């Protein structure tokens, strides 16, 4: 689907990626998710196994579904952190989740994302022990670790903060559908490469 692009085509690429995801039927998405689990085996990944403090996104409809991964994080006795996005800014925190069950009680943002409310007092990952691993969403990716987000810069800004933490930058894994893999995506000097992209055919 994707061709080599430069930064001038970024808007076109975003539109094309959204259309490709919209065209993918639910059964195909479920198949891709199963392929991800069985071929890549997120929960069998060496970085996942050795990580204790893991940040993971709560999925939107057009993203790899992470509920089973979150369940495994708790089953394995690991600590789970989820994003809290600040509107009208590029600031994001990773707040500790107490259980899988509490996800359903979280408020929904205007972007239709579940996240803790502003007055919900929780541990922020970087205020304590930092993070070992971040499982990341995105709109498009290439095989060199470049990521095209949804335009707000939340994850790049957060990774910059991670680099200043004594623990340093966590390992980063993006979870993607095959429709999201491009030959190249546009990057800027503020974009931080991710360590690995997991998708059906990788």
Pull the structure tokens for residue 29: 């998405």
145 labelled binding-site residue: no
d(CA 82, CA 103): 10
52 touches 131 (CB < 8 A): no
Phi then psi for residue 121, to 5 deg, are -85, 115
63 labelled binding-site residue: yes
**CA dist 112 → 33, 70, 75, 172 (Å):** 21, 19, 27, 24
176 touches 199 (CB < 8 A): yes
85 labelled binding-site residue: no
154 labelled binding-site residue: yes
d(CA 198, CA 174): 6
48 labelled binding-site residue: no
178 labelled binding-site residue: no
d(CA 19, CA 3): 15
150 labelled binding-site residue: yes
How many beta carbons lie within 10 A of that of residue 100, not counting itself? Answer: 16
147 labelled binding-site residue: yes
d(CA 54, CA 17): 27
14 labelled binding-site residue: no
Sequence ranges of the binding site for ATP? 147-155
Sequence ranges of the binding site? 58, 63, 147-155
Sequence ranges of the binding site for substrate? 58, 63
């Amino acid at each position: 689907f994707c061709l080599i692009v430069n930064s001038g085509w970024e808007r076109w690429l975003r539109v094309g990626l959204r259309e490709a995801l919209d065209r993918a039927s639910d059964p195909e998405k479920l198949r891709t998710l199963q392929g991800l689990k069985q071929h890549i085996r997120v929960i069998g990944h060496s970085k996942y196994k050795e990580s204790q403090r893991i940040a993971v996104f709560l999925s939107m409809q057009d993203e790899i579904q992470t509920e089973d991964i979150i369940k495994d994080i708790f089953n394995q006795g690991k600590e789970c952190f989820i994003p809290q996005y600040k509107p009208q800014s590029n600031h994001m925190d990773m707040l500790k989740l107490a259980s899988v069950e509490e996800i359903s009680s979280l408020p929904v943002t205007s972007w239709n994302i579940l996240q803790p409310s502003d007055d919900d007092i929780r541990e922020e990952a970087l205020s304590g022990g930092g993070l070992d691993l971040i499982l990341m969403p995105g709109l498009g990716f290439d095989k060199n670790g470049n990521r095209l987000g949804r335009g707000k810069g939340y994850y790049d800004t957060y990774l910059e903060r991670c680099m200043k933490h004594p623990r340093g930058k966590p390992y980063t894994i993006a979870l993607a559908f095959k429709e999201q893999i491009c030959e190249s995506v546009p990057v800027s000097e503020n974009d931080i490469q991710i360590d690995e992209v997991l998708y059906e055919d990788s």
